[in-house]
Amino acid sequence: MDVRISKAAQLLKASATPIKQVASECGYSDISNFYRDFKIVHGITPKEFRLTMLANIGQPYPFFHHKAVSDNREHVPTIVERPLDIPS
């Protein structure tokens, strides 16, 4: 379980991949089991984890910008990648 949840945490930090897809890529066919296991390991839900990572200013993970679409539809989130600076 820890290996799958560790992979999920990396995906949640480094991409805007939907949580359901992250769960699937980590071997979970049931999203409820993924949420339960993630919360057991990290103490928060995958959504809370991602939001916490995005809220931490200065973190080396992608962050969201909203750009206007030319035909006045809703703003579309895009990801701006930042270089990873992972401490040893």
6 in a structural domain:
yes
13 in a structural domain:
yes
Beta bridge partners of 79: 64
17 in a structural domain:
yes
Global pTM reads: 0.62
50 in a structural domain:
yes
pLDDT digits (tens, 9 = 90+) for 64-75: 444 444 444 454
- Domain range for residue 36? 2-58
44 in a structural domain:
yes
33 in a structural domain:
yes
Buried b or exposed e, range 23-39, using 16+ CB within 10 angstroms: beebebeeeeebbebbe
What is the amino acid identity at position 46?
P
37 in a structural domain:
yes
pLDDT digits (tens, 9 = 90+) for 10-31: 999 888 899 999 999 999 999 9
Provide the number of structural domains found in the chain.
1
CATH of the domain at 23: 1.10.10.60
